[in-house]
Structure 1
Amino acid sequence: MNDMPPATTPVTLPDVDVLREIARRVLWLSASIVDAANAGRPNDSGVKVGGHQASSASMVDIMVALWFAELTDQDRVSVKPHASPVLHAINYLLGDLDESYLPLLRAKGGLQSYPSRLKDPGTVDFSTGSVGIGATAALWAAMAHRYVSSRFPGAPAGGRFVSLLGDAELDEGAIWEAVMDPAVAKMGELLWVVDLNRQSLDRVVPDIQIAKLQGMFAAAGWQVVVLKWGRVISRLFERPGGPALRARLEAMPNEEYQRMLRVGPAQIAERILAGGAGGTDAPQLKALLDEIAPADLAVAVRDLGGHDLGLLVDTFRSVDPHRPTVVFAYTVKGRGLPTEGHPSNHSALLSAAQMDALAVTSGMERATPWQRFEPDTAAGRLCAERGGALRREPVTPTAPVALPAQLGHGYRKPTSTQAALGRLLADLPRDAPEAAARVVTCSPDVASSTNLGGWINKTGVWSVEDRHDWFADDAERVLRWREDSKGQHIELGIAEVNLVSLLGELGVTWSRWGERLIPIATIYDPFVSRALEPWSYGIYAGGQSILVGTPSGVTLAPEGGAHQSITTPSIGLEQPGCVAWEPAFAQDLEWCFLHAMSQVGVEGGTSAYFRLSTRPMNPELARVPDDPALRERRRRQAVAGGYRLPADHLPRDEDVTLVGVGAIMPEVLEAAKSLAGHGVRAGVVCLTSPDLVFRSLQQRDSRDAGLGSGILDELFPAEYPAPLVTVHDGHPHTLAFLAAARGDRIRSLGVTMFGQSSGLADAYRLHGIDTGSIIDAALTMAGR
């Protein structure tokens, strides 16, 4: 830990006075962006527009020091959500944002409420609307860049990966899961700056516990730098009575300190001396305060490290480049605004009179708020210089990578979809080496139990540094755990949030640095819900990847309760930017997975979620045609969302249609066979993706030609209606939409209760998805 003393070498390029002038303009612009959104636009909805002028103000100096003195075009910065107006103001001064967008915060076609990498018109490196998760994105991007650089020597160089986060974000568990990952301690390109303004949304934080936070970062191998006081007040600390002044200010509770900021300059000395402050040094303290003009004292007590531009620049340039660094920069929330330090300033909006006063102190006019600096001024020249230095060339993507439609080895023995995935990945380096080179797998300590062993044995485990394999000579070891910078599997600790956060950043390397990856992560399906928010965030931010949840459902019967997933099929169907799959048979898995891989890491691509099972399935049940043309037709149907069994069955002969998904298909097929013995003609539909079938339903009468395919009408032809019985080892709601296909009566069987340990047959009977329950529902729907 390093409590940085005042730097003795002043900043020469750029000049601190010029930086201060730019900071005043950025403060004005960021406040005006919020003001224009709330007071400058018609709003007849009754819904407030909002914004965060105070949260932006505390970040102004930190961000000005970075953008106008420190960053290069290779650096990537994650900006705390509530400081988005500052980022927009800086991008505007750098010539990266057109003036027309400044009045359009939170308006359609304008600036997003929080930084958005895909939706904002100016340069935004990371989407940060999810507090805590966006802050860690830069960390995972740094790891993704390291991976790309180690695998592809021609990849573009990377600079620093910077996260600017609020102190309240340190309450988020995602922060500490990321910080504590062992590999992170080796990543000197990481720089985090904590805006320590000691306020959250509702209150002044009573105890920031800075020492505890320092210790937690230090224990994880980070360099810790604390910028508490600026140079102005630090010089006062060196005078007689100065140590007593410092002791008094640092002993103040946060609430008392911020209340002092709200009084007039003439009252500040009195508040410092209140309660016998200074002890035996009280006379010296009083003498020091008597020597300082009230206006100067008011400036001094606000001189925190996070507002000293020279100190900030010197700090950013002097940190240890060999390990990650966190800078705790003390700031004042609302710095320079009339709401400065007020406990309720988080979402407070400046009044018209307060904006008029801010215009005066900023040297601006409210009528013309969007003035840039004149080009021939020092500030104007610096803005132009930095705008040019930070401008990035468009990314040139790598040459297209061909993925086969199938590997074509055939499946003759019963196998689970989870095992089929392991075989597919293990075969890929031989059958499609160019595509395999772009695959990177990840797992939260479940690689071996999710069948990634064959892939790992062939490709190795990636690590930020080479590690000696002490078990290399162990003849009994099946899984060869070779860790070096050339591997293609990244193993994380038991932290699902870390897993999907890294997955998202691996999934944007094609657009960040022009190097396509196909990231694939395996996770126990019950824990998809735990990882849902960061997974969704990654997709929102442009990450394209494949998440494999396995094993799934109550089919994992002996594991019971907490290891049985219920709602994940609905989660997959409802997730934007993602296609959810649940193939039943190994051949279906191969076809669908290769198709999903082809959609990852490309312009207009999409993520995928696969729900797999450990239940072995007899491939003969799938009745895959031998004829090449019919086999290709089956493949196209599987990739579109589903197919009928058998393929030559005529829907017009059906009394009832049974619809199954995934591991439950043997029970569905057995029920159809038994129903035939009762004189009930049951058709069977096997869905590989309820998600795609739902999209096909949505496509009807839609002008959006890209929404889905015609697979729904192929599976459920309108001219042959029949009652439906849907069966799913998941929540029955997932397939309930099929009633809208033709207006059929429907009975949806599925899992709606928590599971328990049992045998497979007992589990299916318990939840009413066994063969007997399917038969009973079908007879009822057929009127028998």
Structure 2
Amino acid sequence: MSVTLSPTAPPTEAAAIARDALLGAIEQRVLWLSTASIHHANHVRPNPLGLKVGGHQASCASMTTIMTQLWFEQLRSGDRVSVKPHASPVLHAINALLGELDPAALAGLREFGGLQSYPSRTKDPDPVDYSTGSVGLGATAPLWGAIARRYVENHGGRAGTGRQYALIGDAELDEGAIWEAMGDPAVEHLGELVWVVDFNRQSLDRVVPAVSVTKLSAMFEAAGWQVLVAKYGRLLEGLFARPGGERLRARIDTMTNPEYQRLLRSSDEQLLDRLCGERWPELRALLADVGPAELRAAVGNLGGHDHDTLRQSFAAIDDTRPTVVFAYTVKGRNLPMEGHPQNHSAQLTPAQFEQYASSVGRDPADPFQVFEPGSAEGALCAERAALLRREPVPAAGAFTPPTDLGWVPRGTSTTQAALGRTLLDLTRRAPAIAERVVTVSPDVSSSTNLGGWVNKAKVWSAAPSRDWFDDDPETILHWEESTEGRHIELGIAETNLVGLIGELGATWSRWGFPLIPIGVVYDPFIARALEPWTFGMYAGGQSILVGTPSGVTLAAEGGAHQSLLTPAIGLQQPGLLSYEPAFALEVEWMLLECIRRIGIPGGSSSYLRLSTRPVQQDLAEVPALPEARELRRRQVLAGGYLLRSPQAGGAPHATIAAMGALVPEAIAARDTLAEAGVHVDVVCVTNAGLLFDALQARTGQASGEAGSADAGEWILRDILPAHRAAPLVTVLDGHPHTLSFLAGVNGVQAAHLGVSQLGQSGDQESVYRSHGIDAASIVRAVLRGIAQG
């Protein structure tokens, strides 16, 4: 059951009251600085176009007590905090008081090159532990950060100890990412995890009538979390302690959320009338000697605005399991819009700001002043700054994997199987690098060909357990869990997968201990994970995501498991290297290149789109000459290579540019055409994004790709030289627009084949034919192109 904490007098009550008065003075300055920074951005800084700048003064006000209590009393240097997006100005105000941010920078909130709208690890100039802004994802980041910290400690790094806090707006609890994360089996042993919910019961548009700590607590408790509730503060508890005070408690407890908040915006006479009403006449006697100002202060004295209540909440945390603290607050606390149902984006008018400045003794013309060093407040700021200061993160060297493991694939294989094979080869050829590989799966390890790797690397778990099937002769996948394992298994939730690989991919910048996180997921579900994965990249995480199996090639599984849009990710996602191999050897080269880009400033994440289609590997015609093999490798990594050209030499009648699983269809079409005397080039495209960047560079446009030294105009000259320009047919197991830009390389007649309709179950040949991506369809497209050209 949840525990509701009520403040009790500590042994030295006078000292505690003095301490809270000091914290109150700091809290007041924090609220002023955060409010002033938003005001400056909207009402002082020139805005010639009149476009909305924005900011959330009310959302900041509900958090100032909680954040002041944390930074100025609770936190230690090893702790990390994810701050709810709309409280970003509060974080910057605190950092200014602690000397981590030039106070003048507060004038640059939401200005280009200045403080970001929401906390950003990579773009803000002051310390930010977790990027937030995409609702629900910043809240869950400390959960994955806790696993990453433990993993680093278990594998020879020095990540230290410390709590992982998430400060969450209660409306964020509407996001599914919250519940997917909190209930994952990997979470139940994370005792360092603390979520603090700013329970102000307001969303963007209204006071939410039905949100209830009772219901929410039951959900957390069912998942094994400790639940603490900071509901009322010292002033209200003092009234409750009077004879008959339990009636006042019952009255406030049973109020609806909108009714309570209406009290806060009542006149003194209305407040007493609304509180007592006709059904509670005995409350008038209880409150007869309570003055209007005292009553108003008490009614608004919720637990999230009372340092003593919060202090007790944090002291009661059970460090053996995750904890959630529901801290009751008022949105807009101590500002004129306090408690108003539409105050989410409201801002003080210039007149209100002047009045507010006067009430707190600040100069609105010089708003960003911090405490004098000789003051009691300044001394506490200096003391906390020294305690919270962290050692600089040691620089981590780049991974230098071999460029080629020397494998020559034979027979029939799939690109999906090549992933597991490459990981195992890496343990033999580059064991020091393989030791930094950590694979993550949402319960699809065996079906994505990671079984051999899992048997070799073992499974990581915060709480080791025995494999009861280790002596079963029919068991192929051995599930040995320990803190030394290098594979992490999560439940079936792609959002959790990418959240974890994002944090594992940030250990190089947090603790100077780079990891190589590789997540595997069914390719059709990458779209479900794309937004949180993108946010992880924005936050500085560098990871490798493998989507497999992919496309309508997974014919029998039907439309629910056939991915159409994923090939275009590499064209559209900044900071991402996206490869789709046709042959097993290409997987090896690509994976090694992806590893090389991880764990360094300016590095990148990568995406590999793999297939379960068995392909004859000799179709790749990998050159035997070492120099020619190296050229092929460079071309593969730069975006593509010429796989077939007319045996008779000379210019082709047409060009087929194919990608991934459909390269065998392109070769079959080429052979059919050759028998009819029509000669074509077959280009194998491996990275559409790099080819697009090369085309952009040709026209003088800056590249948006993640900076490959091998990506440039030279690759276009190699695979689509002007002297071999001919009608073009592109084909891939995905949406045809992905390769349509290739027609612009030489300005040729083009047809683009691919999958643009939702599919159905069937055999591969029938499915290919229905979408017009089989060999016969390619032949017809080539002949039409030649006729029209």
TM-score norm. by structure 2 comes to: 0.97
Taking the TM superposition and a 5 Å limit, the aligned residue runs for 1:435-450 are 435-450=433-448
How much is the aligned-residue C-alpha RMSD, in angstroms?
Answer: 1.5
Q: CA deviation at 1:311?
A: 2.0
- Three-state SS of the structure 1 residue aligned to 2:724 is coil
Structure 2 residue identity aligned to 1:318: A
Match of 1:568 in 2: 566
Is 59-68 or 360-369 further displaced after alignment?
360-369
Structure 2 residue identity aligned to 1:232: L
Is 363-372 or 390-399 further displaced after alignment?
390-399
Q: Contact 2:6/2:309 (CA < 8 Å) preserved in 1?
A: no
Q: Contact 2:61/2:334 (CA < 8 Å) preserved in 1?
A: yes
Q: CA deviation at 1:542?
A: 0.7
User: Which of residues 236, 247, 250 is equivalent to 1:247?
Assistant: 250
Q: CA deviation at 1:571?
A: 2.4
Q: CA deviation at 1:720?
A: 3.3
Q: Distance in 2 between matches of 1:109 and 1:71?
A: 29
User: Which of residues 131, 138, 142 is equivalent to 1:134?
Assistant: 138
Q: Contact 2:399/2:598 (CA < 8 Å) preserved in 1?
A: no
Q: Residues 295-323 of structure 1, C-alpha deviation per residue, up to 9 Å, x if partnerless?
A: 10000000000000122123213311111
Q: Distance in 1 between matches of 2:532 and 2:597?
A: 21
User: Which of residues 570, 583, 592 is equivalent to 1:585?
Assistant: 583
Q: Distance in 2 between matches of 1:53 and 1:69?
A: 24
Match of 2:150 in 1: 146
1:187 and 2:187 matched = no
Match of 1:291 in 2: 289
Q: CA deviation at 1:677?
A: 1.8
Which structure 2 segments of 5+ residues have no match? none
Give the 3 Å change call, closer, same or farther, for CA 393–704 of structure 1 in structure 2. farther
Q: CA deviation at 1:12?
A: 4.5
Q: Distance in 2 between matches of 1:436 and 1:448?
A: 20
Q: How many residues align?
A: 778
Q: CA deviation at 1:357?
A: 1.4
Q: Distance in 1 between matches of 2:645 and 2:481?
A: 47
Taking the TM superposition and a 5 Å limit, the aligned residue runs for 1:457-468 are 457-468=455-466
- Three-state SS of the structure 2 residue aligned to 1:530 is helix
User: Which of residues 68, 71, 74 is equivalent to 2:75?
Assistant: 71
Q: Distance in 2 between matches of 1:531 and 1:401?
A: 27
1:105 and 2:109 matched = yes
Q: Distance in 2 between matches of 1:407 and 1:54?
A: 58
Match of 2:413 in 1: 415
Q: CA deviation at 1:681?
A: 1.7
Match of 2:229 in 1: 226
Q: CA deviation at 1:156?
A: 2.7
Is 315-324 or 117-126 further displaced after alignment?
315-324
Q: CA deviation at 1:756?
A: 0.8
Q: Contact 1:223/1:323 (CA < 8 Å) preserved in 2?
A: yes
Q: Residues 391-435 of structure 1, C-alpha deviation per residue, up to 9 Å, x if partnerless?
A: 222211345443111111210111000001111112221121001
Give the 3 Å change call, closer, same or farther, for CA 400–572 of structure 1 in structure 2. closer
Match of 2:28 in 1: 24
- Structure 1's consecutive aligned runs of 4 or more residues displaced over 3 angstroms after TM superposition are 10-14, 397-401, 646-652, 701-708
Q: Residues 332-375 of structure 1, C-alpha deviation per residue, up to 9 Å, x if partnerless?
A: 00000000000110001110111011112221010110111111
Structure 2 residue identity aligned to 1:521: G
Match of 1:662 in 2: 660
Match of 2:86 in 1: 82
Give the 3 Å change call, closer, same or farther, for CA 82–409 of structure 1 in structure 2. same
1:275 and 2:278 matched = yes
User: Which of residues 47, 52, 55 is equivalent to 1:51?
Assistant: 55
Match of 2:6 in 1: 5
User: Which of residues 95, 100, 113 is equivalent to 1:91?
Assistant: 95
Q: Residues 15-50 of structure 1, C-alpha deviation per residue, up to 9 Å, x if partnerless?
A: 111100000001111111110000011212232001
Q: Residues 703-742 of structure 1, C-alpha deviation per residue, up to 9 Å, x if partnerless?
A: 7585742212321123432111000000001001112212
1:300 and 2:288 matched = no
Q: CA deviation at 1:455?
A: 0.4
Taking the TM superposition and a 5 Å limit, the aligned residue runs for 1:459-498 are 459-498=457-496
Q: Contact 1:402/1:434 (CA < 8 Å) preserved in 2?
A: no
- Three-state SS of the structure 1 residue aligned to 2:674 is helix
Q: Distance in 2 between matches of 1:264 and 1:354?
A: 18
Q: Distance in 1 between matches of 2:64 and 2:483?
A: 39
- Three-state SS of the structure 2 residue aligned to 1:532 is helix
- Three-state SS of the structure 1 residue aligned to 2:117 is coil
Match of 1:782 in 2: 786
Is 483-492 or 404-413 further displaced after alignment?
404-413
- Three-state SS of the structure 2 residue aligned to 1:186 is coil
Structure 1 residue identity aligned to 2:272: A
- Three-state SS of the structure 1 residue aligned to 2:32 is helix
Q: Contact 1:203/1:343 (CA < 8 Å) preserved in 2?
A: yes
Q: Distance in 2 between matches of 1:627 and 1:648?
A: 21
- Three-state SS of the structure 2 residue aligned to 1:603 is coil
Q: CA deviation at 1:560?
A: 1.1
- Three-state SS of the structure 2 residue aligned to 1:163 is strand
Q: Distance in 2 between matches of 1:317 and 1:573?
A: 50
Match of 1:737 in 2: 741
Is 100-109 or 713-722 further displaced after alignment?
713-722
User: Which of residues 200, 215, 231 is equivalent to 2:218?
Assistant: 215
Q: Residues 131-161 of structure 1, C-alpha deviation per residue, up to 9 Å, x if partnerless?
A: 0111000110001111111111x41303110
Q: Contact 2:234/2:309 (CA < 8 Å) preserved in 1?
A: yes
Q: Contact 1:401/1:434 (CA < 8 Å) preserved in 2?
A: no
Give the 3 Å change call, closer, same or farther, for CA 382–260 of structure 1 in structure 2. same
Match of 1:375 in 2: 373
Match of 1:260 in 2: 263
Match of 1:511 in 2: 509
1:62 and 2:66 matched = yes
Structure 1 residue identity aligned to 2:401: L
- Three-state SS of the structure 2 residue aligned to 1:476 is coil
Q: Distance in 2 between matches of 1:714 and 1:126?
A: 44
- Three-state SS of the structure 1 residue aligned to 2:171 is helix
- Three-state SS of the structure 2 residue aligned to 1:69 is helix
Is 317-326 or 349-358 further displaced after alignment?
317-326
Q: Contact 1:651/1:683 (CA < 8 Å) preserved in 2?
A: no
1:727 and 2:725 matched = no
Structure 2 residue identity aligned to 1:767: H
User: Which of residues 430, 433, 436 is equivalent to 1:432?
Assistant: 430
Give the 3 Å change call, closer, same or farther, for CA 14–567 of structure 1 in structure 2. farther
Is 398-407 or 241-250 further displaced after alignment?
398-407
Is 518-527 or 390-399 further displaced after alignment?
390-399
Q: Contact 1:623/1:646 (CA < 8 Å) preserved in 2?
A: no
Q: Residues 666-711 of structure 1, C-alpha deviation per residue, up to 9 Å, x if partnerless?
A: 1101111111222222111001111111111122243758574221
Give the 3 Å change call, closer, same or farther, for CA 745–177 of structure 1 in structure 2. same
Match of 2:355 in 1: 357
Q: Contact 2:636/2:686 (CA < 8 Å) preserved in 1?
A: yes
- Three-state SS of the structure 2 residue aligned to 1:573 is helix
Match of 1:319 in 2: 317
Structure 1 residue identity aligned to 2:556: P
Q: Residues 579-631 of structure 1, C-alpha deviation per residue, up to 9 Å, x if partnerless?
A: 11101000111111111111112221110011100001111111100001111
Match of 2:536 in 1: 538
Q: Contact 1:136/1:175 (CA < 8 Å) preserved in 2?
A: yes
Which structure 1 segments of 5+ residues have no match? none
Q: Contact 2:411/2:617 (CA < 8 Å) preserved in 1?
A: yes
- Three-state SS of the structure 1 residue aligned to 2:288 is helix
User: Which of residues 531, 554, 557 is equivalent to 1:556?
Assistant: 554
Give the 3 Å change call, closer, same or farther, for CA 647–361 of structure 1 in structure 2. farther
Give the 3 Å change call, closer, same or farther, for CA 713–265 of structure 1 in structure 2. farther
Q: Contact 2:22/2:377 (CA < 8 Å) preserved in 1?
A: yes
1:712 and 2:713 matched = no
Q: Distance in 2 between matches of 1:714 and 1:13?
A: 76
Q: Contact 1:14/1:69 (CA < 8 Å) preserved in 2?
A: no
- Sequence identity of aligned pairs in percent? 56
1:118 and 2:119 matched = no
- Three-state SS of the structure 2 residue aligned to 1:783 is helix
TM-score norm. by structure 1 comes to: 0.97
Give the 3 Å change call, closer, same or farther, for CA 660–319 of structure 1 in structure 2. same
Q: Distance in 2 between matches of 1:452 and 1:104?
A: 49
